[in-house]
Amino acid sequence: MESLTISNLSPLRFLLRSRIFTGVSLCLIIFFSYTLSTAEAHRPAFPDGSNISSDTAFQLDGIDISQAVYQVLGNNNQVWLQFDPASSESRTIPVQLGIPVLEETASFRPMVAIMAPNLRSIDLPFAVPSGYGAILYKTNDEQPIRTFHERFTNTNSWILIEEEFDITETGIHYIVIFSDSRQSGKFWFATGTKEVFDFSSIANLNKNISRVKSFHTPDIVSDHNAQDDISNWNNPRQQGRYLSSVPIYLTVILLMLVFVVILVLIRKK
């Protein structure tokens, strides 16, 4: 049997047949998978700001899927989201509302109303679809607000609401974020528990990280420019500025993964 030595193998083929190659490859794949799962623990969404009524509500992915909506609330509007529980196996969903840790959001206290058919009717400062009632979630002033640091994007948030909603009805459900005192400001709303990974997650990873980081930077909000920080992403110049802030180690990870794939292909020859 031919022995595995450098003398009878080229350096490249020796590497390919060695345990070092296998170990390094596994480490890279595990680390890369962990990085993606950390970055995409909540699938991010950035509505364009037109979702200000039940007719224009932003459609969430399957409510099982872990997802976060980043948006700005204008002082004369509400933000409307919707989901259909028929596409979900979950009967209880998390309700989490956070705001960036910024001077401009320090006193911002938006609320969340989840509306469904046949729920109890409550007073809300906006029109509720016919036949719908609601459950209201708001900041508990008697408890300290929790600060959350997201390590991957290096962003900080104040968690205002952490509750659960029990799905007891069928039909379209609406999630409305609003301010009863007509405040405006940045917020994110998160729900779902199932982490779903696909190839689009890789393609959009850098862009999403940049958008989340940009979302957590200071930007005094008024009713006139409430959606400017979100819609600016459509500006190519802004895209270049955001992407330039992407951590370089993400690029290195991608290059290492490509290197591993190339080595595997060579080994098969």
Tens-digit pLDDT string for the chain (269 aa): 444 454 455 555 554 555 555 555 555 555 545 444 444 457 899 999 999 999 999 999 889 899 999 999 998 899 999 999 998 888 999 999 999 999 999 999 999 999 999 999 999 999 999 999 999 999 998 889 999 999 888 999 999 999 999 999 999 999 999 999 999 999 999 999 887 755 556 667 888 889 999 999 997 544 444 455 445 544 444 444 434 444 454 566 667 777 777 766 666 66
Task: Compute how many other C-beta atoms are within 10 angstroms of the C-beta atom of residue 206.
Answer: 18
The domain limits of the chain are 39-243
Residues 6+ apart with CB under 8 A from 193: 64, 66, 90, 94
Domain 39-243 has CATH 2.60.120.380: yes
How far is the C-alpha of 181 from the C-alpha of 176, rounded, in Å?
Answer: 15
Q: pTM value?
A: 0.72
Q: How far apart are the first and last CA of the chain?
A: 21
Residues paired with residue 174 on neighbouring β-strands, in sequence order: 82, 115
**242 contacts 202 by C-beta, under 8 angstroms:** no
DSSP 8-state assignment for residue 94: E
DSSP 8-state assignment for residue 6: T
